[in-house]
Structure 1
Amino acid sequence: MFVLIKVIVSAIVIGIITEVARRFPTYGGVVAALPLVSILSIIWLSAQGEQNPTLSRFVLGVLWGFPATAFLLFIVYIGLKHSLPLIVSLGFGLFGWFVFLSLQELFLKQVKLLIFQS
């Protein structure tokens, strides 16, 4: 039953955001950029009994993914601005997201190696 409640509430939030975006695209974008999914996820995890260490690791994961997500959105914006179809823009964006995350992970490993070798 709890899963159904999560799905319904989350769908309502997404529905409201898309309606705002349809009427007011800029404001809809600002609202969509709010960390609603992250906040809802934290609430749902907490309501399911997850403890602070798990919630903390989840939030760190969200922070870790944020730069790549911003890069994805930038690529999609550029693609749409240059009249690429949505699916192509999203494809390029997802590819860029994956490459960005991979490079970010590689960079962090190199930094850790440098720090621990000193």
Structure 2
Amino acid sequence: MWTLIAKALLAGAMIAAIAELGRRLPTFAALVASLPLVSVLGMVFLWNARPDAENMARHSEATFWYVLPSLPMFLLIPVLMRHAVPFWLALVLGCVLTVTLYALLRLAAPRFGLPI
């Protein structure tokens, strides 16, 4: 139980630090946010819980494929906001795009032999 709380606090602290950094240095905060810190920490925690090389390889490879559908959101949101779309609507539309692309990836993955 304490391990779960520690993991949640660490993740929350990372998000809070990025948000605070973003107030002063938005581009640098974006760089920090783009680092795969959550993925790396997740792999460390997963490895500690189950040190299985094949499981870790599958996890890492699937993470790669799941990152790809999230990337267009980071292009759509600024385009929408530069066209006077309010932030919350742009964010929701970006999330809808991401969920749609996740669903399409899940449908297409077996056809292309992707390991997800």
Does the alignment reach a TM-score above 0.5? yes
Identity of aligned residues (%): 22
Deviation at 1:104, TM superposition (A): 3.6
Structure 1: gaps spanning 5 or more residues: 113-118
Which residue pairs with 1:35 in the alignment? 36
8 Å CA contact 1:71–1:100 kept in 2: the answer is no
Shift in alpha-carbon separation, 1:49–1:91, aligned structure 2, 3 A: same
Give the distance between the partners of 1:73 and 1:2, measured in 2 at CA: 32
Deviation at 1:109, TM superposition (A): 4.4
Give the distance between the partners of 1:57 and 1:111, measured in 2 at CA: 16
The structure number with the bigger radius of gyration is 1
Which residue pairs with 1:88 in the alignment? 89
Which residue pairs with 1:12 in the alignment? 13
Give the distance between the partners of 1:54 and 1:76, measured in 2 at CA: 35
Give the distance between the partners of 2:112 and 2:50, measured in 1 at CA: 35
TM-score calculated relative to the size of structure 2:
0.82
Deviation at 1:110, TM superposition (A): 4.5
Shift in alpha-carbon separation, 1:105–1:93, aligned structure 2, 3 A: same
Give the distance between the partners of 2:35 and 2:56, measured in 1 at CA: 19
Alignment of 1:1-118 (within 5 A): 1-111=2-112
Deviation at 1:47, TM superposition (A): 2.1
For the aligned residues, what is the CA RMSD?
1.9
1:48-81 CA-partner distances (Å, limit 9, x unpaired) = 2342222222211211112211111111221222
* Alignment coverage as a number of residue pairs: 112
2:101 alignment partner AA:
F
Structure 2: gaps spanning 5 or more residues: none
Which residue pairs with 1:115 in the alignment? none
1:13 alignment partner AA:
M
